[in-house]
Amino acid sequence: MARGWDSKAVEEQVQDHQAPDSGKRLAQLTPAQAESRRRREVLILSRTRVQVDLQASSNQRYKDQLTRALADIESQLAIIEEIS
């Protein structure tokens, strides 16, 4: 049976984490860089969740709220990208 895209992505993340040089890459980050990276990852996950909810919703007011949330997340991501 073929593996799905999600399982491959998870497997790659595990392999990257277990790679011998992964600790070196993390150790080279300053605390501010590590926090920025963590914040970016959280925002990307949030954006994905909002996009899924937006596609699944049939309530227009909820869609409007999700659209505003998505715009806010995108603006926060843009700020982080400028700083990096």
Helix intervals (H) in 1-84 = 5-18, 22-27, 31-56, 60-83
pLDDT digits (tens, 9 = 90+) for 21-69: 555 555 688 998 999 999 999 999 999 999 999 999 999 999 999 999 9
- Given this model, what pLDDT does residue 46 score? 97
The pLDDT value given to residue 79: 94
For tokens 């860089």, name the residue: 33
What predicted TM-score, i.e. pTM, was given to this entire model?
Answer: 0.65
